[in-house]
Amino acid sequence: MTVYANSPDGPVKWERFLAQRTQRMQSSAIRELLKITQQPDVISFAGGLPAPELFPVREIEEACNYLLRQEAKIALQYSTTEGYRPLREYLADSMSKYGIHHGPDNILITTGSQQALDLIGKIFIDPGTYILTGRPTYLGAIQAWRAYEAEFITVPLDDDGMQTDLIEEAIRSHTPRFIYILPNFHNPAGTTVTEERRHRLVEIARKYDLIIIEDDPYGALRYDGEDIIPIATLAPERTLYLGTFSKTLAPGLRIGWVVAPAEIITRLVQAKQGADLHSSTFDQMIANDIAQRGILKMHVRKIRQTYHARRDTMLDALAEFWPEGSTWTQPQGGLFLWARVPATINTLDLFYKAVEQKVAYVPGVHFFPHADGGHNAMRLNFSNAQPEFIVEGIRRLGLVMKQELAAH
C-alpha cells in the first residue's frame, strides 16, 4: 500500500465511512479462485468462459470497419440509456420466435447480464427483502443482491430444476418479493425446469402475487431435446426476462438485456442512468451488426456443435475415470454440469489437492446462499477446454478423489 507522506494525521480509518451494506459485500469466491486457476498449465473447469478459439473474430473486424467508416459519429458518441434502438428491435423480433411478445420499448440494454441483476436489486430490494431462489443458485446473483442487503429463501433443485412443489412451504414464514430462476441449463446445476414446473411456478407466483426473474443466459445453447416455453411467455405481466450476448457472441463486449413490462423498464432506465448512463455504444452496434447480418445465428450453430461434443467428452470421461459413488447431471445444454462426489470427500478441501495436480473446479458450497449444501459437489465447465484437456482433467480429478478415498 502507498505510504501517505503528505498526511499529518496518518492513514484514514476507512471502516467508519463504509455504508452498512458494504460490510456484507464479499469478493466473488469464483473470481478469487480464477486467479489461482489462471496459471497456463492448469486445466480449469472453474470458469464459465466461452471457447475463445471460436470467437467470430473476422466478422467482428468487418463490423468494426463498417461502423467506423459509416457510423463513427454515432458509434463513438454518448447514446440513450435504453440502448441502441435497432438492437432492441432485433431482440424484440428474435425473442418473439420464442413466444416472448414484447416490443423494443420493453427492452433495456445492460452492461452484461450482471448489470441487469444489479439494477433489479436496486429497484426492488430494501434491506431485509426476501428473495426466493434455488439451491444451488448463480453466485453472481447472490453477490449482486447481498449488496442491497437481501435475505434468501431457498428451495432445492432436483434433475428437473427447482422443486416448485416446495415453494409454498418455503414461503410460509417469509414472503419473498421475487422468485429468481435459471430455467435452462442452470448455472451451476446444469438442470432444466420442465414445462409442467414452469406452469406450476406461474400459478404460485400469481396466487401470492410475486415477481419472477427469469435468467436465461444459455437458452440458445441447447444440445438435446426441444426448447421449452419461457416463463416470460406464460406470465408476461410479472416476469423480468434476462438475456445476454456473453455466451453466444463474446463476453468481453458486456452486452445483455432485460425484457419487462414498460413500467419496470422505466424504473430500470432511471436506475441505469445513475449507474453508467448507458452501455458502450460501440459494443452495442457491433453486436447489432453481427446479429442483423445473420452471423450470430450461424455462429450459435457452430458453438452449439462444439460445446455439445465437449459435453459428451466430459460425460464419457466422468464415467470412465471417476470412482464409484460419484454422480453428475446430464445437461441438455449450456456450459456446466454439477458433479456429486462420494460423501467422505469435501470438495472445498479437495480443491487445493486438485490444483496441485493442475486441475481446477468450483467447490459446490459457493453456490449455496446459506452455505448449507454442496460440500460434496462441484461445478464443472465443459465449454472452455479442448477435448483432450477435458479428458485429462477429469482423469486427474478422478485420481485425486481415489487417493482421497484410499486415505480415509
Q: Which residue lies nearer to a second copy by CB, 235 or 397? A: 235
Among 33, 44, 50, 287, binds a second copy (CB under 8 A): 50
Q: 250 vs 341, which CB is nearer to a second copy?
A: 250
- 367 contributes a contact to a second copy by CB under 8 A: no
Query: Does the footprint of a second copy cover residue 68 (CB under 8 A)?
Result: yes
Least distance between a second copy and beta carbon 238 (Å): 5
Asked if 253 touches a second copy (CB under 8 A), the answer is yes
Place of cell 419472477: 212
DSSP string, 232-288: HHH-TTTEEEEEESTTTT-GGG-EEEEE--HHHHHHHHHHHHHHHSSS-HHHHHHHH
SS3 155: strand
Q: Collapse the DSSP code of 28 into the 3-class scheme (helix H, G, I; strand E, B; otherwise coil) and give the result.
A: coil
CA dihedral 163, 167, 168, 169 (to 10 degrees): 90
Question: Is the CB of 242 or the CB of 345 nearer to a second copy?
Answer: 242
What stretches of 132-219 show up as alpha helix (H) in DSSP?
139-146, 167-170, 195-207
Segment near a second copy (CB under 8 A); pick from 9-17, 290-298, 313-321, 342-350: 9-17
17 binds a second copy (CB under 8 A): yes
Instruction: Tell how strand 178-181 and strand 130-135 pair up.
Output: parallel
**Residue number with CB closer to a second copy (246 or 347):** 246
Q: Which stretch binds a second copy (CB under 8 A): 140-148, 179-187, 190-198, 298-306?
A: 140-148
Q: Provide the minimum distance between the beta carbon of 379 and a second copy in the complex, in angstroms, as a whole number.
A: 16
Quick check: 182 binds a second copy (CB under 8 A)? no
Shortest Å distance, C-beta 263 to a second copy: 5
Interface segment toward a second copy; rule CB under 8 A; list 99-107, 157-165, 218-226, 388-396: 99-107
What is the C-alpha separation between 102 and 398, in angstroms, rounded?
47
Residues of span 255-294 touching a second copy by CB under 8 A: 261-264, 267, 269-271, 273-283
Which of residues 126 and 356 has its CB atom nearest to a second copy in the complex?
A: 126
Q: Rounded to the nearest whole angstrom, what is the least distance from the CB of residue 210 to a second copy in the complex?
A: 9
Total binding residues toward a second copy, as defined by CB under 8 A:
107
SS3 88: helix
**Which lies closer to a second copy via its Cβ, residue 17 or residue 294?**
17
Q: CB nearer to a second copy: give 99 or 156.
A: 99
C-alpha cell at 213: 426473474
How far is it, in rounded angstroms, from Cα 331 to Cα 186?
8
How many CA atoms does the CB half-sphere of 82 hold within 13 Å?
17
Least distance in angstroms from the C-beta of 145 to a second copy: 8
Residues 110-129 that bind a second copy (CB under 8 A): 110-112, 114-115, 117-118, 121-126, 129
**Identified binder of a second copy from the candidate list 88, 135, 238, 311, rule CB under 8 A:** 238
Nearest distance in Å: CB 273, a second copy = 5
Residue with cell 460434496: 376
Q: Tell me the C-alpha to C-alpha distance, in Å, between residue 64 and each of 68, 131, 302.
A: 6, 41, 22
Strands 211-215 and 178-181: parallel
CA angle 311, 316, 321 (to 5 degrees): 125
Contact flag: residue 140 with a second copy (CB under 8 A) = yes
